A and B are shown apart, each in its own frame.
Chain A
Amino acid sequence: MSWFEKLIPSRIRIEGGNKRGVPEGLWAKCPGCSAILYRAEMERNLDVCPKCGYHNRVSARRRLEIFLDQDTGEEIAADLVPTDPLKFKDSKKYKDRISQAQKSSGEKEALVAMRGQLQGMDLVALAFEFNFMGGSMGSVVGEKFVRGVNVCLEHCIPLVCFSASGGARMQESLFSLMQMAKTSAALGRMAERGIPYISVMTDPTMGGVSASFAMLGDVNVAEPNALIGFAGPRVIEQTVREKLPEGFQRSEFLLEHGAIDMIVDRRDMRDRFASLIGTLTHKHRI
């Protein structure tokens, strides 16, 4: 507050007076470069900042919509809903957290699975809904993942999974932990059959999700600047008691340390993945 403003009696002062009255939702500020962007233009650009290339998080449905050929997606296991096997309660009941997450995200669970096409090739695509309890993995996420894999095995078609998750869901305790083993085992069957699996790690991919299927791609891909790792940065900082290096656990760091094959811009994904899958399966595209 400037000295002049301090002179004005408080009842005429306007809080946040320098904010202009911009209609909600028409413009968006890029978290990367702070540029003010026209939202419709951002959407056309797949929620990537046209100025700096910052990748905004996108919902599961939007992800699948922009990845699959138009109107080819058919949802798999859409009817699965979470239960509360432990009657878990912290400051809130798990049941209430579920209904709240369902309301705010519009999804029944944190993973959406679809069979569809990518440039004419059949495949199964999975996408995490980060707005559903931080994309955490419980029984339903594990089961949907496996059902997606089973469609791949049955029809001999590739799998692409877009991860965005804080890790295992604490409210389902050991059931959640076991989803790591369940999903990884299913991928073993894919590998045996020689069916390609591309894992795409988006911001963030942590904990039990990163330590299971997300790191097991035949090709591991990350979006630019995504946070990817096993332990959260705060936990590590508390353990080693030192400041973490700049860029630690970001996509570029993982590429440098050999954990992923490539970083792919969201706007290039359809072309790059169609080419990759085509090459791996000896298919010639028209």
Chain B
Amino acid sequence: MNLNFLEFEQPIAELEAKIEELRLVGDDNEINIQDEISRLEAKSRTLTESIFSNLKPWQVAQIARHPQRPYMLDYVARIFDEFQQLHGDRAFKDDHAIVGGVARLEGRSVMVIGHQKGRDTADKIYRNFGMPRPEGYRKALRLMRLAERFKLPILTFIDTPGAYPGVDAEERGQSEAIARNLLEMAGLKTPIVCTIMGEGGSGGALAIGVGDRVMMLQFSTYSVISPEGCASILWKSADKAPLAADAMGITSDRLKELGLIDTIVAEPVGGAHRDMDAIARSLKQELIKALDRLEGLPTDKMLESRYQRLMSYGQFGI
């Protein structure tokens, strides 16, 4: 089993393995098997397209968490120039699960803030698996206020299983740190564009997710609780996560339908990790488009429509 492929991608993995084999044979054999390779490659493409055009929410959740999925700093390197990381909350610590700093987007000054996950084991621990503590959210807020002061639009990038559920995080006020960001972001006098890149895990995601435009990468997820968490509470078994994922509506297309996000950024066939440069290019275009639109608005109009949008969330009857 090829670990770069998820379980439901195994048919693709088998085809790819066959192609690889044929290539090796082709190198030291006179018979021209190029035709056969091309045929299989085409078949693999069609298969990938058909699998990916019909994904179940739980499969999307697995892509959103794919170990090869591009993370915050992968995008920063490909989208922005002159990125200078700014550290620390000025009160307690620098949280490595959230990174932020000033940068240029096609010459335009911006503030970028996002969750950062780690790639290998040591890095994962260093980044606390992308789960911020209060100091992470407070660093984010400090940088957002800095952005407001210097009239930099804020671009946030969300990819977290959730805010860290630990003793120290509770001691330092995890709840308050998240709540404060929600209140402040609603009133910051600068444009805010939020993008969910991978996992949009509950309050830990929303704490940097209040803005004028909310975008999602095609195979990212956004939910009030993880499918496993929901399943273990409502179905009394974490194994029922696929059912919970279905029921909660965590995918970009479903959330767009419900009017909870604005834009879906299409991913390369097979997911963002199959072509990081391509997804970064698409995301960059969408960010520029969103900023162009927002920067044409007077600040008070922008704030009012941000507020009205927040107030419109929810469905109820009389």
Contacts and interface: CB of A to CB of B under 8 A. Distances in A.
Interface of A: 79-83, 85-86, 88-91, 138-140, 142-143, 146, 168-170, 172-182, 184-189, 191-192, 207-208, 210-216, 228-232, 235-236, 239-240, 244-245, 248-249, 257-259
Nearest to A184: B182
A240 B166 contact: yes
A175 B130 CA distance: 24
A82 B180 contact: no
Interface string B155-196: 000000001111101111111101110111011000000000
A85 to B, nearest CB: 4
B316 A140 contact: yes
27 contacts: A80-B316, A81-B318, A85-B258, A90-B243, A138-B314, A169-B224, A173-B223, A174-B250, A174-B260, A176-B224, A177-B206, A178-B260, A178-B310, A180-B182, A180-B203, A181-B210, A184-B183, A207-B203, A208-B224, A211-B163, A211-B175, A211-B203, A212-B203, A230-B203, A231-B169, A235-B165, A244-B167
B235 interface: yes
Contacts of B250: 173-174
Contacts of B167: 236, 240, 244-245, 248
Contact of B170 (A90, A188, A231): A231
B183 A174 contact: no
Contacts of B224: 168-170, 172-174, 176-177, 208
A83 B316 contact: yes
A178 to B, nearest CB: 4
A81 B317 CA distance: 5
Nearest to B174: A230
Given A169-B224, A259-B173, 17 more contacts: A80-B316, A86-B248, A139-B315, A168-B225, A174-B223, A177-B224, A182-B313, A188-B183, A208-B203, A211-B203, A212-B203, A213-B179, A216-B176, A216-B183, A231-B169, A248-B170, A259-B176
Interface in B232-263: 233-235, 243-244, 247-250, 255, 258, 260
A190 to B, nearest CB: 10
A146 B311 contact: yes
Nearest to A205: B175
B173 A258 contact: yes
Given A179-B313, A215-B175, A229-B170, A91 B234 contact: yes
Contact of A231 (B165, B210, B230, B314): B165
Contact of A85 (B165, B169, B307, B315): B315
Contacts of A257: 171-173
B202 interface: yes
Contacts of A236: 165-167, 170
A220 to B, nearest CB: 8
A130 B101 CA distance: 42
Contacts of A168: 202-203, 224-225
A91 B240 CA distance: 11
B222 interface: yes
Contacts of A91: 234-235
Given A85-B258, A174-B255, A180-B206, A211 B186 contact: no
B250 to A, nearest CB: 7
Contact of A175 (B180, B187, B313): B313
A81 B316 CA distance: 6
Nearest to A249: B170
A181 B316 CA distance: 17
A182 B222 CA distance: 17
Nearest to B307: A185
B313 A178 contact: yes
Contacts of B255: 174
B257 to A, nearest CB: 11
Interface centre among A80, A215, A229, A232 (most CB of B within 10 A): A215
A210 B182 CA distance: 12
B43 to A, nearest CB: 38
A170 B307 contact: no
Contacts of A258: 173
A143 B314 CA distance: 7
A76 B16 CA distance: 63
A258 B223 CA distance: 30
Nearest to A238: B165
A259 B184 CA distance: 18
A101 to B, nearest CB: 15
A89 B230 CA distance: 12
Contacts of A79: 318
A232 to B, nearest CB: 8
B178 A230 contact: yes
A50 B292 CA distance: 64
